[in-house]
Amino acid sequence: MTRSSDKSFAVIGGGMAGILSVIKLREAGFGKITLFEKADQLGGTWRENTYPGVACDVPSHLYSYSFELNPDWSHLFSPGPEIHKYLLNVATKYQVLQHCRLGDEVSQLTFESGKWKVETVSGFEDIFDFVVAATGVLHHPSYPSISQLDKFEGHMFHSARWDHSVEIEGKSLGIIGTGSTAVQIVAATAEKVGKLNLFQRTPQWVLQVQNPSIDDKDKEKYRENPSLMLDLHEELSKSFSDNFANAVVDANSKEVKILEELCKMNLAHTVQDPILREKLRPNYRAACKRLVISPNFYEALQSPNANLITSPIMQAEPEGIRTQDGELHKLDVLVLATGFRVDRFMRPIEVFGRDGISLDQVWRERPSAYLAISIPDFPNMFMLNGPNGPVGNFSLIEVAEVQFAYIMQLVERAMSIENGLISATHRAAEVFEAERIEAAKNTVWVTGCKSWYLDDRGVPAAWPWNFEHFRERMAKPIESDYELYTPVSV
């Protein structure tokens, strides 16, 4: 193997996975690393999402880098600003910032002469041996198609673009959407606003999970004995996998049925008004959509100033939103908690692979990648949390760590020959896609709901196997599934 630390790497994206990539590349002895981040600060989704109540729905001691466990998490599910601070602290500690080009968005990636040319919107250009795309999934806001939305004269913004200059206290607040984001905003703002109007397009099953603060004595205990944190991390990982991640890929599992019963009990026991209760009752199975967790959503929605609106939206007007029942809901502020365009990944970056093939052309129907990592004809370019990966059912930090260890094996294999190039074969990608589609038929995601998991065919665009299978596939690349070659001499 011609191991050489002079190989250069472009890392695209400065969120959790991009920070991880730089740390792990440095750890492996590589020094020529450039991280490209379009914003002026690292942090990814935790930099972008600053809405009231923002928090992770994975326990904090699990949603942490395994090599940098944090004894100071404030809650079981810590708030977004705390997670963002954690990521920035890790980036500082591991000298990630010295590799960063902040505020410079990548506009084009071109594979030529066995290398990758990276171009940015500022006009910067450089050549790299490898590209790691850590661009994330949930970062391109999806805006609703509502007639005359631009006619609304109040303050309006997407939940991922929260305008903190707008005062909501005592105002009439409208929220469109009922996913995790909307649920968190409702719970955080119900007591502050004058009137809360939640426009429900589809009801959600809500699992009541409390969010206790972590005792100072426990924090001190973790500081004094880091091995206790590691044990907790492993315990949470196993519990999360056994009781949720592995359950949702089997629609008939007893764990899914337990989750369903717990959601039904939460609705039945918490919502007193039978009319409101039925408005909030979904007509699909729990976990068919991404399961929403909240300690107090139903309580907040039963506040005297809260209003659940189920009549479909007809149009926006200068004073608010008019629904199909004819009522005009007057609003001061309108929040679009309508999710993200989950099919974007690296786009709008223009990417051209071997022989000038365009990624837009390859993905003209829908995005795909072998094992969510490698795309045929795009050698020495790897994705973290790429298409059809475990975005909805595992802890994404844990996923990224496992995936990056796999990617490093591909890098090592490429470096085993002079100027080596590696990418998944077309055959491997086709077989994986067929296996994935077949396995998806067993998941709870196809049991009768519409969700952002489903692609244009109704096939879940998520990893359809359990976590053990994920670890097995990520343990070691199958040599025959990859093409290893050198550039063709001109």
Judged against a pLDDT cut of 60, whether residue 490 lies above it is answered with no
Mean pLDDT of the region 442-454: 92
Q: Is the peptide bond before 318 cis (omega within 30 degrees of 0)?
A: no
Which tokens hold the place of 256?
A: 């899914």
Whether the CB-CB separation of 358 and 198 falls below 8 Å is answered with: no
Residue 4: the pLDDT is 53
Class of the domain covering 8-42+96-140+341-485: alpha beta
- pLDDT tens digits, one per residue of 264-323: 999 999 999 999 999 999 999 999 998 999 999 999 999 999 999 999 999 999 999 999
| Size of the chain in residues | 490
User: Which residues, 6+ apart, have CB-to-CB distance to 434 below 8 Å?
Assistant: none
Query: Is the fold of 8-42+96-140+341-485 the same as that of 149-210+238-336?
Result: yes
- pLDDT tens digits, one per residue of 454-479: 998 999 999 999 999 999 999 999 99
Q: Domain segments of the chain: what residues?
A: 8-42+96-140+341-485, 149-210+238-336
pTM: 0.96
State the DSSP string of 433-475. HHHHHHHHTTSGGGSS---TTB-TTS-B-S--S-HHHHHHHHH
**41: pLDDT confidence band, cut at 50, 70 and 90?**
very high
> Which amino acid is it at 334?
L
Residue 345: the pLDDT is 81
Tell me the C-alpha to C-alpha distance, in Å, between residue 267 and each of 297, 375, 449.
10, 44, 19
Residue 132: the pLDDT is 98
- The alpha helices in 225-273, defined as continuous H runs, are 226-240, 254-270
Rounded to 5 degrees, what angle do the CA atoms 335, 196, 176 make? 35
**140: pLDDT confidence band, cut at 50, 70 and 90?**
confident
- pLDDT tens digits, one per residue of 375-407: 999 999 999 999 999 887 788 999 999 999 999
- pLDDT tens digits, one per residue of 77-129: 999 999 999 999 999 999 999 999 999 999 999 999 999 999 999 999 999 99
Cβ burial 21-60 (10 Å sphere, 16+ → b, else e): bbbbbbeeebebbbbbbbbeebbbbbbbbbbbbbbbbbbb
Whether the CB-CB separation of 403 and 372 falls below 8 Å is answered with: yes
Half-sphere exposure of 115 (CA within 13 A, CB side): 12
**344: pLDDT confidence band, cut at 50, 70 and 90?**
confident
Judged against a pLDDT cut of 70, whether residue 2 lies above it is answered with no
Judged against a pLDDT cut of 90, whether residue 22 lies above it is answered with yes
Mean pLDDT of the region 337-350: 86
CA-to-CA distance for 452 and 236, rounded, in angstroms? 26
Beta strands in 298-378 (DSSP E): 306-309, 313-317, 320-323, 328-330, 333-336, 350-352
Whether the CB-CB separation of 350 and 109 falls below 8 Å is answered with: yes
Class of the domain covering 149-210+238-336: alpha beta
Q: Identify the three-state secondary structure at position 484.
A: strand
Mean pLDDT of the region 348-374: 96
- Name the DSSP letter for residue 291: P
Half-sphere exposure of 472 (CA within 13 A, CB side): 5
Count H helices and E strands in the chain, helices first. 13, 21
Residue 452: the pLDDT is 84
Judged against a pLDDT cut of 90, whether residue 184 lies above it is answered with yes
Mean pLDDT rounded to a whole number for the chain: 95
Give the residue with greater pLDDT, 381 vs 2. 381
**233: pLDDT confidence band, cut at 50, 70 and 90?**
very high
Judged against a pLDDT cut of 50, whether residue 3 lies above it is answered with no
Judged against a pLDDT cut of 60, whether residue 46 lies above it is answered with yes
